[in-house]
Structure 1
Amino acid sequence: MALVPSSLPDKYPPLPDDKFPFKEPPPVVITPCDPWPPPYYLEDGLRKVKPYHFTYNTYCKQRWRGREILDIFASEFRDRPTEYYEKAIIEGRVVLNGKPVPSTKTIVKNGDIISHTLHRHEPPSTAKPIGIVHEDDDLIVIDKPAGIPVHPAGRYNFNSVIEIMRADRGYGWNPLPCNRLDRLTSGIMFIGKHRQAAEDMSAQIRERTVKKEYITRVVGEFPEGEVVCEKPILQISPKLGLNRVRANGKEARTVFKRLAYYPPKDDKEEPVAQNGEHHPGMAWKKMRGYSIVRCFPITGRTHQLRVHLQYLGHPISNDPIYANQRVFGPSLGRGHSEEEDDEDIMTRLSRMGKEDIADAVAYHDEMVDQYNKRKAEKMTGETCSVCDTPLYSDPGVHELGIYLHARRYHCEEGKWDYETGLPEWALPPPGYEGATELTKESDPLAVDLKKLGLEDDHESRDQQGQANAVKNATKTDTTSDEPVAASAGA
């Protein structure tokens, strides 16, 4: 299969007063074919995509500058082994600025464009439809199902909110997300129908004039009353999607309030294996029951709620990363803010989905039947007959999301308010009484930021942030620090 260079843009001569003459951007490679409609099919509660060829193009990210091209692929992407990327570079499936790469040791510089053409195998996503909460001439407010990423990224392209909505409404329609949720998270999202609407809503969210509420289900008995976590968060591994509490991380602040606590049905000892020994994956059963917790993020860091809940000792019950005893040990990372064991944690985490199944998924969810507990996405040992890519088994439906739902977004000025009901996993289990909905009359848990002393501080940080934005606008480097390390072909 030959790589196809894209046509060059029209050349514009520099204006007489230009000090820096116009410079052509580097050439890129285009996808050999663009299948339409997308090759979807539904099977066993999953939306699947038939394999197809695809070309990733991405500018050099700031953290890639001055590094060897093979080192970038090997350290940033976990979809394929280093040997695959080495062979792809040598055989010309990876090119730099539209030209073959002379060596796997070629240094990538600022402004370079990396193109990677591959036979793409997308993971399945949930077959649940994208819910519509509200729609007008400017915006669509959706209820995103868990298990679907917002943008094409990593191993996902057609199995993303953007492409699923485009497939439903037509090839020429361009949905413009105004906010982003993690792939594993469900709930409220805003899709702009045109650029101005998307920019207006995105600006509201950036300026923190939009209040957000999430609902989650966590391990153990969460404390009553307002719990404020102000620990900074640092990205530890973009490849593994791992973030931790660290003193040198970015400022992060969340308010939590417990909605309900559901203790175990009895006081029996924890289960034992048939040989009479305690299963090491069941130690956290001692934490007794689970809580439904409301989360009010003041800042918006990647994995903020998941990391703060883990630090507090109450990780999300089925979180395959932060509630994983095989990775973090019996304490599940409670109160941990040191970096001395980061390498060990990353090594153990990298095995999940390859040799091991995350024990948060495998053992500890009462709502998952025994068959689905055994069923999980992991390498099968087989390879694709076209490209020799290692193949994965289908994930169980229970693996497609975690117990985290963006329940409500509302304008601080009272202009609009959108919410969903409680997800099924947040309702009282059989035999228990508890909240089934949140209303102004029945809900005494509204968070008062001024009462907690956060409102004034929040406003001063906004002013400082605006000052920093003006300062940073003069810099030539506009590379985003968001952990989207997938455009070059994970």
Structure 2
Amino acid sequence: MTTPFPILFEDGEALVIDKPGGLPLDRPRAGGVSLEDRLEELRLGFQRPPAPVHRLDRDTSGCLLLARNPKALKRFAAAFEARLVEKRYLGIVAGPVSGTEGTIALSLSKISSASEGWRMIVAKKGKPAVTHWRKLAELGGHTLIEFRPETGRTHQIRVHAEHAFGHALLGDPVYGNGRGAARTMLHAAGLTVPREGKDPVVALAPLPADFAALGFADD
């Protein structure tokens, strides 16, 4: 049976898909296709369609965990909430990055305005957010960074990159200038979700074609 997306992991309670960049999870107000429209195709013989456990931005590609039943959804969501899930992202920063590795700890808060919509900002009274990073390669004025977020705040990696490095992710229209790529260059490359009494859910998403087109490879 063909599936609408590459499947990176599958068992009786979990499905990890390789979500393409540009596909939103929820149906956009302006219309257009979303993951919501494709969940029925991911039933694959099961009684009900799977449900996303966590969120990836529209532009972000890579590992997305779906639960195949309500009990699994509750358990997986609790693992994310308890920060037991290991997440590995790859991002292309639109400029040079000094240093080779480090940790960014900047609290984040949401703001919104009628003219610009909403965005996340660094704010002392915001929610704590921690991201570990490591430089993998520099090429053509851009830098490939591995991000391992400890927390899972909205737009965390995007805001942390812009503040810590002085450059946003390539193609980011909100925290950068939106130039250099057709999307915000962020990829969920790896996901490990522990399970009590079972082997963990482990998934790896290959580097997308638009990363490779810029000359980068995942080490």
Same fold (TM over 0.5): yes
Please report how far the alpha carbon of residue 303 of structure 1 lies from its aligned counterpart in structure 2 after TM superposition. Answer: 0.6
Alignment of 1:282-431 (within 5 A): 289-312=141-164, 313-324=166-177, 360-361=178-179, 364-365=180-181, 398=182, 401-411=183-193, 415-427=200-212, 429=214
Residue correspondences, number: 209
SS at match of 1:235: strand
2:139 pairs with 1:262: yes
In structure 2, the partner of 1:166 is 40
For 2:113 and 2:23, how far apart are their aligned partners in 1?
19
Please report how far the alpha carbon of residue 167 of structure 1 lies from its aligned counterpart in structure 2 after TM superposition. Answer: 5.0
Q: 1:175 aligns with which of 50, 63, 73?
A: 50
Structure 2 unaligned residues grouped into runs of 5+: none
Q: Is the 8 A contact 1:232 1:251 kept in 2?
A: yes
For 1:254 and 1:168, how far apart are their aligned partners in 2?
32
Please report how far the alpha carbon of residue 168 of structure 1 lies from its aligned counterpart in structure 2 after TM superposition. Answer: 6.1
More strand per residue: 1 or 2? 2
* Gap change, CA 1:192 and 1:412, over 3 Å in 2: closer
SS at match of 2:160: helix
Q: Is the 8 A contact 1:231 1:245 kept in 2?
A: yes
Please report how far the alpha carbon of residue 237 of structure 1 lies from its aligned counterpart in structure 2 after TM superposition. Answer: 1.2
In structure 1, the partner of 2:218 is 437
For 2:211 and 2:24, how far apart are their aligned partners in 1?
22
Please report how far the alpha carbon of residue 224 of structure 1 lies from its aligned counterpart in structure 2 after TM superposition. Answer: 3.1
Q: Is the 8 A contact 2:42 2:49 kept in 1?
A: no
* Gap change, CA 1:166 and 1:141, over 3 Å in 2: same
Q: 1:231 aligns with which of 106, 112, 125?
A: 106
Q: Is the 8 A contact 2:108 2:128 kept in 1?
A: yes
Amino acid of the structure 2 residue aligned with 1:305:
I
SS at match of 2:200: coil
Please report how far the alpha carbon of residue 238 of structure 1 lies from its aligned counterpart in structure 2 after TM superposition. Answer: 7.2
Find the structure with the greater CA-based Rg.
1
For 2:204 and 2:99, how far apart are their aligned partners in 1?
24
Amino acid of the structure 2 residue aligned with 1:212:
K
In structure 1, the partner of 2:24 is 149
Once the two structures are superposed, residues 240-280 of structure 1 have per-residue CA deviations (whole angstroms, 9 ceiling, x without a partner) of: 231111222111111111110014xxxxxxxxxxxxxxxxx
2:41 pairs with 1:184: no
Query: What TM-score do the two structures reach when normalised by structure 2?
Result: 0.84
Once superposed, which parts of structure 1, at least 4 consecutive aligned residues long, lie more than 4 Å away? 167-170
Flag the structure with more relative contact order, 1 or 2, with Cα contacts below 8 A and sequence separation at least 6.
2
Amino acid of the structure 2 residue aligned with 1:261:
E
